[in-house]
Every structure is written in structure tokens, then in C-alpha cells.
Amino acid sequence: LLNKWLSVEIIEDEHDIDLPANINEKQAAALLEQPAINLASLKATFGNDRSSQQNFLKFYQQHSLPIMAKLEASISAENWQTVNELAHTLKSSTRGAGAILLAHYCEALEQLAQENKNQENKNQEIIELDKKIKIEFNRVCENIEANFN
């Protein structure tokens, strides 16, 4: 049983990409051209068990919707500590779901919220990033509905 988790398996996927620590705008644009759920990342977490993939993605979708609502409310209230915590929570589960670009945006939001000390320029960056997160979250949900139900 441990060999399943300890072995290194190369996963072939037409959407497999090398995941840099930071995704630049060019890489983000390239990710927008691919499905929102990266199959290689999803398989790295769940293997080829389609049922486990579907169950997790359904769970992810159900539990992420309230987090997204709380995140929006916290940004509006400029409650940066809560924004930081929610972005971190969403980032972690999003990575498990194979949504690489959304996880990147969540990580960037987490960092901005951590750095934000009532600085107007940071607030605008957070608002712009929040827009990207909403768009990408909708894309992830559409991809789940179309391919994993």
C-alpha cells in the first residue's frame, strides 16, 4: 500500500505543464487556453480512480462556494486577516482539485492580504485579483460540471 504513495509515477497528459513557483502573465494566459482542471495534477492526487476524482470535485465545489462568498464579503469589509485565511484554505483545496491557475490566484491573494496594512495601492491589486479569482472559479465549476459528473 505504501508503494502507491511513495513511488514516483510519470503521468502523461496533454495539459501537463511544469509548475513554476510563480506564474507570470504569459503562463496565466496559456493556462486559460487549457481546461481549468489539470488532469495530471488531479491524477497525482487521486490516481486514475475516476470515482474518487468525481467525489472530491463535487465535495470541492460544494464547500468552495461558501468560502468564495465569505471571501468576497471579507474583501468588501477590508478584513485582511480573514481574506488571508480564506485564500489559504481555498488555495489548498484548489491545488488538490488540479485547478492550477485558480490556486495561483489564491496564493497571490493570500500574500497580498498578508502584506496589506491599509495601503490603497494594495486594495486595488486585491480587487483586481478578486475579479480574476471569480472568473477562474466559475471556469473551474463549469469544467467540473462538463467533465466530472
| 147 Cβ contact partners less than 8 Å away, ≥ 6 residues apart | 35, 37
Question: What DSSP element (H or E) covers 63?
Answer: helix 50-76
Read off the pLDDT band of 149 (50, 70, 90).
confident
> Rounded CA gap, 112 and 97, in Å?
23
- Amino acid residing at 144: I
Which pLDDT score, from 0 to 100, does residue 120 have?
56
Which residue, among 60, 145, 62, has the nearest Cα to 103 in the 3D structure? 60
Segment 40-65, tens digit of pLDDT: 988 888 889 999 999 999 999 999 99
For the chain, the residue count is 149
Which pLDDT score, from 0 to 100, does residue 116 have?
74
**Residue 120 Cα distances to 16, 79, 125, 127, angstroms:** 38, 14, 9, 11
> What sign for the dihedral angle of Cα 20, 37, 32, 137?
negative
Segment 92-117, tens digit of pLDDT: 899 989 999 999 999 999 999 888 75
> Rounded CA gap, 133 and 64, in Å?
12
Q: Cell 474583501 belongs to which residue?
A: 75
Whole-structure pTM value: 0.81
Read off the pLDDT band of 119 (50, 70, 90).
low
Q: Take residue 74 and report the three cell numbers written for it.
A: 471579507
Q: Take residue 141 and report the three cell numbers written for it.
A: 465549476
